[in-house]
């Protein structure tokens, strides 16, 4: 099974490089959106535990 993981990882890296090199503006918007989703999610999780602990 590990060779399949390695192949998929290399394909993903190749696709990301292709996306960045062919249309950097779109790639930047996509990565920015993903980063915003991640940070909002972590912030909401932190807020949940803060309210849970704080009562």
Q: Residue 1's pLDDT band (boundaries 50, 70, 90)?
A: low
| Residue 23, CA distances (Å) to 3, 15, 16, 27, 29 in order | 30, 12, 11, 6, 10
pTM over 0.85: no
Beta carbons of 27 and 34 less than 8 angstroms apart: no
Give the mean model confidence (pLDDT) for residues 27-46: 95
């Amino acid at each position: 099974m590990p060779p399949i993981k390695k192949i998929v990882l290399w394909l993903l890296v190749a696709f990301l490089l292709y996306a960045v090199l062919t249309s950097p503006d779109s790639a930047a918007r996509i990565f920015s959106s993903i980063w915003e989703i991640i940070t909002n999610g972590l912030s909401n999780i932190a807020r949940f535990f803060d309210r849970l602990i704080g009562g």
